[in-house]
Amino acid sequence: MAFDRRIRIAPSILAADFANFGAECEAVEQQGADWVHIDVMDGHFVPNITFGPETCTALRPHIKTVMDVHLMVAPVDRYLEAFAQAGADILTVHVEAGPHLDRSLQAIRALGKKAGVALNPATPASAVEFVLDRIDLVCVMTVNPGFGGQSFIHAMVDKVRQLRAMIGDRDIHIEIDGGVTADTAPLVTAAGADVLVAGSAVFKGGSVTDPAPYGANIEAIRSAAEGA
């Protein structure tokens, strides 16, 4: 079967109610999310701290789709096993997080997980050129990692285009992370992206007791992205 490049929307729980993560994951899935994106920050690689493998373990039963774990952690290798055991489906590491990217990617696949690589805004597309056969996803950061609610960096659209050409017919998703809205989504899907992470643009206006706005927000991003 051909690789499925349908547009996927992956809400980031960084913008959810931190006192209600389980219910928030269920709410966004009921409202049409394709994946759930979990932003792990270590206060060292990025200037913010979020949560670790125990939170992922606790969330796993509340996520029926895909648990997409974005590790903003350095050094990361010593934590891969814990996040794999927590039930992640995809483990994404940063190119900039250590000197041995190829080794980290091999370790993720050896743990039976899909392997992703994230690129900070200043990191060129060529950084993944020699690991293409080891990855299932490349995540283009369209903000500097560390915080939700930042503005989309437009210069990244060219990077997406370059990656799409580089990937060719390989089964690799192009994920966009940061500042995704109904306005910016079509720019990146037209350039070749297929997975859109969105935090603030999905969770704005809703709550676990009033989740309908999540659905409307997801639909607005999806239809803008598909119309590109």
Contact positions toward ligand DX5, by CB under 6 A?
Answer: 12, 14-15, 37, 39, 70, 143, 145-146, 148-150, 177-180, 197-201
Residue nearest to Zn ion (CB): 70
Q: Which is nearer to ligand DX5, 72 or 128 (CB)?
A: 72
Does position 42 bind Zn ion by CB under 5 A? no
Q: How far apart are CA 98 and CA 188, in angstroms?
A: 27
* x-or-dash string of contact with Zn ion, 150-189, rule CB under 5 A: ---------------------------x------------
* Residue 184 CB, nearest approach to ligand DX5 (Å): 10
Q: How far is the CB of 159 from ligand DX5 (least distance, A)?
A: 16
Nearer to ligand DX5, 3 or 43 (CB): 43
Active-site hit among 34, 42, 177, 194:
177
In three-state secondary structure terms, 170 is coil
Q: Which one of ligand DX5, Zn ion, none is in contact with 24 (Cβ closer than 5 to 8 A by kind)?
A: none
- 39 is an interface residue for Zn ion by CB under 5 A: yes
Exposed/middle/buried for 6, CB within 10 Å: 0-12, 13-18, 19+? Answer: exposed
d(CA 147, CA 43): 11
Contact 40, 59 (CB under 8 A): no
What is the C-alpha separation between 104 and 115, in angstroms, rounded? 9
C-alpha–C-alpha distance, residues 228 and 221, integer Å = 11
- Is the backbone peptide bond immediately before 211 cis, with ω within 30 degrees of 0? no
Minimum CB–partner distance for residue 57 and Zn ion (Å): 19
Alpha-carbon distance 106 to 119, whole Å? Answer: 18
Residue 24 is a binding residue for Zn ion (CB under 5 A): no
The residues binding Zn ion (CB under 5 A) are 39, 70, 177
Q: What are the residue numbers of the active site?
A: 39, 177
